[in-house]
Amino acid sequence: MQTFPKKRIEIVVEAPLLRRITARLAETGVGGWTVVPVLAGHGQHGDWTAEGQIGTASQMVMLITVVDAVRLDAVLDGVFALVSRQIGVVTVSDVAVVRPERF
């Protein structure tokens, strides 16, 4: 099956910021994303866990979006404008997709 190279961006970020990030992605013309729950984590800001939490403040989520390479810089710029002072981690990797027109 013929596949086409795209970029997969994975963003682990504080839950209260999620709405703003997806709004920014939409503005940048990103066509889709997927949000995955996060149970727990550890980083410079210490340990945290979702268990027993009633608010969203100490909660994180993982957002995954597959975009075309030409859009990568615009997306990263938009995302970092938001998350640079927030708690979170952004990684980029190479993936292949079958239906390139979707991204």
Partner 1 sequence: MFELALQNLLSPMVLFFVLGLAAALARSDLTVPEAVAKLLALYLLMAIGFKGGAEVAHHGVDGTLVATLAAGILLSFATPVLAYAILRGTTRLDPVNAAAVAAHYGSISAVTLVAVTGVLTQLGIAWDGYMVAVAAAMETPAIVAALLIARGRSGGDEPGESRGALLREVAFNGSIVILVGAFLIGAVTGARGAGLLKPFLVDAFPGVLCLFLLDMGLVAGRGLAQGRRYLSPAVTGFAIVMPLIGAVLAGGLAWAIGLSKGSTAVLITLAASASYIAVPAAMRLALPQANPAVALTLSLGVTFPFNLLVGIPLYIALAGRITA
Ligand X SMILES: Nc1ncnc2c1ncn2[C@@H]1O[C@H](COP(=O)(O)O)[C@@H](O)[C@H]1O
Give least dist CB 11 to partner 1, A. 15
Q: Give the closest residue to 6 by CA, choosing from 40, 37, 31.
A: 31
Site string for partner 1, 6-45 (x = CB under 8 A): --------x-xx--x------------------------x
The residues, ordered by sequence, that sit 6+ positions from 68 with a Cβ below 8 Å of its Cβ are 6, 7, 100, 103
Nearest CB to its own copies, comparing residues 62 and 82:
62
Asked whether 35 and 62 are in contact (CB, 8 A), the reply is yes
Q: Which does 77 bind (CB under 5 to 8 A by kind): its own copies, ligand X, partner 1, none?
A: its own copies
Contact stretch for ligand X (CB under 6 A) within 19-27, 34-42, 51-59, 76-84: 34-42
* Cα separation, 18 vs 29, whole angstroms: 17
